[in-house]
Amino acid sequence: MRCMKIPELPFTVTDWSAVEPTVHPGKTGEALWRTLNIGDIRVRYVEYSPGYLADHWCDRGHILYVLDGELESQLKDGRSYILKPGMSYQVSDFGDAAHRSYTKTGVKLFIVD
C-alpha cells in the first residue's frame, strides 16, 4: 500500500479562524484562502463568494471536501459535477482532468493539495 508522504512535523492543531485569509479574485467573485503549508503539501480552508468562477483551468491534483454550500466542478472536456455538503472529489496531478470551480450560492471547502 502506497501512503501519502507528510513531512516530519509535530502534532498540530489548526484554528482556521485564526489563520489570516488571502484574497484570490476569480473571473467573477473572489476566493478567501486560509492556508497551512507543510513541506510540499498545502492544506486550505477556502470560501468562494456567491457567483465565483475560477479565472483559470487547474491541472493540479486536489482532495476537495465541501463543508457548506454548493460547488460546480467543471472539467475542460465539458463534464460538470455538482457537489453538496459531505461530498468530495479527488483528482491527480496526472491525466487530462483540467478543472475549474463555480458556485452560484457561495461555498466553503477543505482542500489538500
- Give residue for cell 476569480: 26
Please say if the pLDDT value at position 7 is more than 90: no
| Span 4-31, average pLDDT | 93
CATH 2.40.50.140 describes domain 35-112: no
Give the angle 8-43-79 at the CA atoms, nearest 5°: 135
Q: Distance between CA 92 and CA 11 in Å, rounded?
A: 27
Distance linking the first and last C-alpha atoms of the chain: 20
Confidence at 27, pLDDT banded by 50, 70, 90: very high
Q: What's the pLDDT score for residue 103?
A: 98
| Span 2-22, average pLDDT | 89
| Residue closest to 81 by CA, chosen among 100, 62, 109 | 100
62-95 pLDDT per residue, tens: 999 999 999 999 999 999 999 999 999 999 888 7
Q: What is the CA radius of gyration of the chain?
A: 14
Residues in CB range of 18: below 8 A, 6 or more apart: none
DSSP code at position 50: T
Q: Distance between CA 20 and CA 36 in Å, rounded?
A: 10
